[in-house]
Amino acid sequence: MRNLVYIFLGGGFGSVLRFVVSNYTQKLWNINSFPMGTFVVNIIGCFLIGVFSSYFIKIDSYLKFLLITGFCGGFTTFSTFSAENISIWENGNYAMLICYILLSVIVGFGAVYLGLNIAKN
Angle between helices 94-120 and 36-56 (to 10 degrees): 30
CA dihedral 99, 101, 106, 112 (to 10 degrees): 140
77 is in an annotated binding site: no
Cβ(50)–Cβ(110) under 8 Å?
Answer: no
CA dihedral 21, 97, 88, 49 (to 10 degrees): -30
Q: Which amino acid is at 4?
A: L
69 is in an annotated binding site: no
Binding-site annotation, residues: 73, 76
Residues making up the annotated binding site for Na(+) are 73, 76
